[in-house]
């Protein structure tokens, strides 16, 4: 999928560090460091050189860099070849490229985000404290699948 500058009107450059809560409408390309929380109906692109420790709720998330925290995407999460991700993930669709490294609890499916919201009380952890080991309640999605692109 070709990307242009209009897809990501907001860019956090490679020498920028952001701490706090961030919300935006369309899209953000993260090239620097971010710590905190992101809330957007749009797209988040974490570039190769970026480091992020945050809880994210977004439309779709593309990860190429280092990410720690919980990701929730109403549409899809893409973990590219260079991605290093640690945390809990909820999305309707998941695309994992070969070479991506991730660990954490995963809830993927057409109804995963809705199901995750109802179970969020026990499953979600603060950013930087992803699910390691067992013990956390595992939400189970229900409902039928829908056709999307193969990862």
Partner 1 sequence: MAAPEYNVPQPDDRTTVVCLYCNKSQEVGRKAMTITCKFCSKSLRLEDKRVTQYEARRSIEICGVVTVEKKGNVVADVLCNGLVVRGKVKGNVVSRGPVLVGPEAEIKGDVTAPSLAVGAGAILAGKYSIGQPNEK
Q: Binding residues for partner 1, per CB under 8 A?
A: 93-96, 98-110, 112, 131, 134, 138-141, 144-151
Q: CB-side exposure of 26: number of CA atoms within 13 Å?
A: 9
CA-CA distances (angstroms) from residue 149 to 68, 78, 94, 95, 113?
Answer: 26, 12, 10, 9, 18
> Cα–Cα distance between 49 and 102 in angstroms, integer?
17
> Cα–Cα distance between 47 and 112 in angstroms, integer?
26
Nearer to partner 1, 20 or 133 (CB): 133
What's the closest the beta carbon of residue 96 comes to partner 1, in angstroms? 5
What's the closest the beta carbon of residue 47 comes to partner 1, in angstroms? 19
Nearer to partner 1, 11 or 95 (CB): 95
Nearer to partner 1, 50 or 89 (CB): 89
- Contact (Cβ atoms closer than 8 angstroms) between residue 73 and residue 90: yes
What's the closest the beta carbon of residue 145 comes to partner 1, in angstroms? 3
Nearer to partner 1, 15 or 98 (CB): 98
Q: Of 55, 44, 40, which Cα lies nearest the Cα of 104?
A: 55
Nearer to partner 1, 48 or 138 (CB): 138
What's the closest the beta carbon of residue 86 comes to partner 1, in angstroms? 10
What's the closest the beta carbon of residue 49 comes to partner 1, in angstroms? 19
Residue 108 burial by Cβ neighbours in a 10 Å radius (0-12, 13-18, 19+):
middle
């Amino acid at each position: 999928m070709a990307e242009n500058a209009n897809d990501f009107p907001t860019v956090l450059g490679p020498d920028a560090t952001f701490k706090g809560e961030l919300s935006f409408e369309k899209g953000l390309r993260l090239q620097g460091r971010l710590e905190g929380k992101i809330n957007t109906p749009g797209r988040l692109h974490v570039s190769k050189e970026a480091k992020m420790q945050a809880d994210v709720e977004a439309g779709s998330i593309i990860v190429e860099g280092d990410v720690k925290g919980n990701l929730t995407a109403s549409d899809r999460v893409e973990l590219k070849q260079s991605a290093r991700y640690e945390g809990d993930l909820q999305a309707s669709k998941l695309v994992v490229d070969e070479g991506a490294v991730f660990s954490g609890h995963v809830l993927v499916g057409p109804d995963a985000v809705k199901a995750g919201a109802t179970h969020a009380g026990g499953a979600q952890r603060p950013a930087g404290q992803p699910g390691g080991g067992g013990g956390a309640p595992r939400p189970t999605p229900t409902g039928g699948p829908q056709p999307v692109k193969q990862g």
